[in-house]
Amino acid sequence: MVSAVDALTHREGETRADYYQRILLSPLALRVKAADIDDNADPERLARLDPATRDRLVLKYQTARKALGLAA
């Protein structure tokens, strides 16, 4: 479990690609990150945001899902 928490910790100066690669090495971290993305990408949550923020986050979550091999 500690290794999953470590895998989910984004390090200073680390690229998103490297971060996602580390998550892929831990099945538990991947499950947690998938749930986190699903929660953050909830349409009701996103609907409360201003359009620029919403668009930025939608792209961020789509990119993360693709990098992690998760269905959109």
The model carries a pTM of 0.89
- Report the chain's mean pLDDT, rounded to a whole number: 96
What per-residue string of b and e applies to 6-44 under the rule 16 or more CB within 10 Å gives b? Answer: ebbeeeeeeeeeebbebbeebeebbebbbeebeeebeee
pLDDT score, position 51: 97
pLDDT score, position 37: 97
pLDDT score, position 31: 97
Residue ranges for the chain with pLDDT beneath 70: 72
pLDDT score, position 12: 97
